[in-house]
Amino acid sequence: MSNLVQSAPPAGRIAGQEPLPALPGVPRARKRGRLYVLDGLRLGAALMVVAFHYTAIGAEAWDRPAWTVFPEVSRFTSYGYLGVQLFFVISGFVICMSAWGRPLKAFFVSRVVRLYPAYWFAVVATTVTLAVVPGERARLAWHEVLANLTMLQEPLGVRPVDAVYWTLFAELRFYLLFAVLVWIGLTYQRVVLFCCVWGAATILRAKAEPGPLRTLVMPEYSWFFIAGMAFYLMYRFRPNLLLFGIVGVSFCASLVPSMEKFRHIPHINEQARWPVIAVIAVIFGVMALVATGKLSGAQWRWLPVAGALTYPLYLLHEFIGWEVFGHFSPRGVHPWVLVGATTAGMLVLSYLVHKAVETPLSRYLKRRLA
């Protein structure tokens, strides 16, 4: 969820080297440009999550369950949590693309400058909002806020400043695993082997007791990252039966943990859970179109702007939005006016954060770290 789309090095070429000769049984890389469509998909995924948090779950913001405030629309937005799964598939694709041909240090620097500037601002902004706006949400102690600045609050056993931060720890675990592959060197065969080994480890640890190895493997979400990497290999080297097999296994295996996640949404009955399969199928179908080049013609200029809004929007929207609802809802403001105005305000704030905080601080960190 948290990655800007970056152009891959020229096909078949490692930075600073001549094109590598094709090996027997290995597809030849194709020259590809920037995929603007991924920016639009990322914003779409973020808006799915926003709709889920604003109209389908939570009670404190409205003084009653959100699905009773929006009874009709919540039948659809209750599935918006699957935007996170779309984020993970895109992350597998983009991380594989952006890391290709880069040394480990460059990969590390790119992740730090991409993740932390907007995140630090979000932690401070959310903390200040919760402190200033009167509400029922518990305030964190200062040492807990400082621990959140590391992005390691979950393994440290510290409460998050905002609940959406849980996905960042999933991303960090993926980066840690993928860093091993970057250190060795990315090739078609190694990425395929990495996908297969991670998938096998996921199967072996899926029903294991909680522990460090299960936490690292993260069987609840690993299939989406694996599918994203396989989709990128399709995009870079052309589709083949092996890659479609990895994607197919990932799709089927991902349904079980995704359905388990849905059981925590109390107002949806068993019969209404089949759309989970449909939404995940759409996610995989759209990414298949991306991987096969069917959507490469989408070159609209607003798409990079949409992608730039995604990460700040995701980080800022939940608790701050709920505080806004809780403050204005008792004063008679119509719920739809509140949701619409708050969403629009969050998009504007996200743009300002990207321009005034994320971009300059990322450049500064990149110069100092690189």
pLDDT at 129: 92
For 192-228, letters b (16+ CB in 10 Å) and e give bebbeebbebbeebeeeeeeeebeebbbbbbbbbbbb
Give the Cα separation of 358 and 1 in Å (integer): 16
Q: pTM, whole model, 2 decimals?
A: 0.89
| pLDDT by 10s per residue, the chain, length 370 | 544 334 334 343 433 333 444 455 566 666 566 788 999 999 999 999 999 999 988 777 788 888 889 988 988 898 999 999 999 999 999 999 999 999 999 999 999 999 999 999 999 999 999 988 876 677 889 999 999 999 999 999 999 999 999 999 999 999 999 999 999 999 999 999 999 999 999 999 888 888 999 999 999 999 999 999 999 999 999 999 999 999 999 999 999 888 877 766 666 655 567 888 999 999 999 999 999 999 888 888 889 999 999 999 999 999 999 999 988 888 889 999 999 999 999 999 999 999 999 999 999 999 999 7
The pLDDT value given to residue 15: 39
In the numeric block, the tokens 């990414």 are attached to: 287
Question: For residue 370, how many other CB atoms are within 10 A of its CB?
Answer: 11
Per-residue pLDDT at 267: 62
Q: pLDDT value at position 16?
A: 37
pLDDT of residue 252: 96
pLDDT of the residue at 269: 58
Q: What is the DSSP letter of 355?
A: I
Angle, in degrees to the nearest 10, between helices 335-353 and 302-328: 130
Task: Please list the alpha-helical segments (H only) found in 238-301.
Answer: 241-262, 274-291
Q: Which two tokens stand for residue 273?
A: 């859970």
User: Strand locations in 101-245, DSSP E?
Assistant: none
Distances (CA, A) of 94 to 189, 235, 240, 353: 18, 11, 20, 22
Q: How far apart are CA 288 and CA 299, in angstroms?
A: 18
